[in-house]
Amino acid sequence: MSRILIVDDAPPFLLFLSKILTGQGYEIATAQNGEEALRTLQTESFDLMITDINMRPINGVELLRKARESYVKMGVIVLTAYETMYTADEAAKSGAFAYIVKPFKNEDLLQTVRHALKH
C-alpha cells in the first residue's frame, strides 16, 4: 500500500483529499503547513507528497526543495489555486512530478497520483 503525505493549510481540503485517496486504498497522513510536513518527514517515509503552494511560513515550493534534499525518490505533486507561469516553472525546476490547478476533477488527480507512484 502506497503512503501519501498531503500538505495544505486548509483543513477542509485536507479532509477532502484524504477521503478521495483513502477510498482508493492509499495510506494517508496530513500536515497543515510546511513545517509540520518537514517534521513528519523526519520520522516517517512516504511514496508521494501532495502539497499546496500558497502556505506560510514555508510555501510548497520551499517544502519541495527541502524534501528533495533528503527524499529524492519521493514523488511530489504540487497543487495551487493561483496558476502562474512562475510558480509552475519553479515547481518543475524543483523536481515536482506534476503541477495541478485547483479546482480539478477527482479523476484527473487520481490519474496523476497513479502515474507519480509508478515513477
pLDDT in tens, 58-82: 999 999 999 988 888 899 999 988 7
- Predicted pLDDT of residue 21: 98
- Predicted pLDDT of residue 37: 97
The reported pTM is 0.93
| Domains, in order of start, for the chain | 3-118 (3.40.50.2300)
Sequence-distant (6+) residues with CB within 8 A of 61 are: 53, 78, 87, 90, 91, 94
Tens of pLDDT, residue by residue over 18-60, are 999 999 999 999 999 999 999 999 999 999 999 999 899 999 9
User: 6 or 92: whose pLDDT is higher?
Assistant: 6
